[in-house]
Copies of this chain bind each other. A is one copy, B any other.
Amino acid sequence: MTRIRFHQELEELKHRILAMAGMAEQAVDLAVEAYTERDLGLCQRVLTNEAAINRAEREVDEFAIDLLAMQQPMAIDLRFILAVIKINADLERVGDQAVNIVQRVMNMIELAPAELPVDIPAMAARARAMVRDALRAFIEGDPELARHVLVADDEIDRMNKEAFAALSACMQSKPDWAAQALDALSIARNLERVADHATNIAEDVIFWIRGADVRHGAGQSLAGS
C-alpha cells in the first residue's frame, strides 16, 4: 500500500469513527426522549439500535487492525489508530448506557408519573456536549478542547451529586415515589457514565496528540536495548 493510499485509509477510519459517534450520540438522545415522553416505542428503538452499534464497533476495530497489519505505521499514525480503537470501545459503551437508561424508563412507564427533583434532559445535554466536544477535539487534533472536556466532567459530577441528594431526600419525604426516584437516580448515574466515557475519549486525544508532539522517536527505548 502506498503512503498516499495509507493516508486515504486513515481518512476513511476517521469517517467511520465519526459515524460510530453519531450512532452512540443518537442512542442517548433517543433514550432521554423516551424518558421525557414516556415512550415505549423509543425505548424499543434504542434496544434495536444497540445491535447496529455493536456491529459498527467490530467493523471499525477490524478496519483499524487491518491498517496496523498492512503497514508498519509511523509512530504518529500508530498512536492515531490506537486512539481510534480506544475511542471506539468507549463509544460502544455510551450506547450501552443508552440501553441501561431505557431499561429504567420502561420500568418508570409502568409506574405513576412522579414530579422528581432532577433535570435529566439538562444532565443529558451536558453529557452529550462532552461526547461531541471530545470527538471534535479528536478530529481537529485540539488538545485545548480535550482539556475543556475534562473540566466539564466535574460539572456533571456536581449535577449527579445534587441529583443524588435531592432524590434521596424525595425518597424519604415521598415514599410513594421512591421507586420512580430510584429509577431517576439510575438514569442520572448512567448519564454520568456517558460523561466518563467522554472523559476517557478526551484523555485518549491528549495521549495521541502528546505522542505526536514528543514521541516522533517512539520505540527508541526498545530499539536501543
- Residues of A with Cβ closer than 8 Å to B? 1, 9, 61, 65-72, 75, 78-79, 82, 85-86, 89, 164, 168, 171-172, 175, 178-179, 182, 189, 200, 207, 211, 218-219, 221-223
Q: Are A218 and B178 in contact (CB under 8 A)?
A: no
Which residue of B has the minimal Cβ distance to A63? B222
Q: Are A65 and B82 in contact (CB under 8 A)?
A: yes
The docked-state distance in angstroms from the alpha carbon of A75 to that of B67 is 11
Among B179, B211, B223, point to the contact of A70 (Cβ < 8 A): B223
Q: Are B79 and A219 in contact (CB under 8 A)?
A: no
The docked-state distance in angstroms from the alpha carbon of A89 to that of B196 is 13
Q: Are B69 and A78 in contact (CB under 8 A)?
A: yes
Cβ–Cβ < 8 Å partners of A179 in chain B:
168
Q: For the complex, would chain A's binding face be called helix, strand, loop or mixed by DSSP majority?
A: helix
Known: A72-B72, A86-B89, A182-B164. A67 touches B222 (CB 8 A): yes
Cβ–Cβ < 8 Å partners of A68 in chain B:
68, 78, 82
Q: List 13 A-B contacts (CB under 8 A).
A: A1-B222, A1-B223, A66-B221, A67-B222, A68-B68, A69-B72, A69-B218, A69-B222, A82-B82, A85-B85, A86-B86, A86-B89, A89-B200
Cβ–Cβ < 8 Å partners of A211 in chain B:
65
The docked-state distance in angstroms from the alpha carbon of A67 to that of B82 is 13
Cβ–Cβ < 8 Å partners of A89 in chain B:
86, 89, 200
A31 CB to nearest chain B CB (Å): 18
Q: Which of A65, A86, A164, A207 has the most CB of B within 10 A?
A: A65
A33 CB to nearest chain B CB (Å): 25
Which residue of B has the minimal Cβ distance to A9? B222
Cβ–Cβ < 8 Å partners of A164 in chain B:
182
The docked-state distance in angstroms from the alpha carbon of A219 to that of B69 is 6
Which residue of B has the minimal Cβ distance to A168? B182
Among B66, B71, B85, B189, point to the contact of A218 (Cβ < 8 A): B66
The docked-state distance in angstroms from the alpha carbon of A208 to that of B102 is 31
- Extra contacts, 5 of them, besides A71-B72, A171-B178 (Cβ < 8 A), are A61-B207, A66-B219, A70-B222, A82-B82, A86-B89
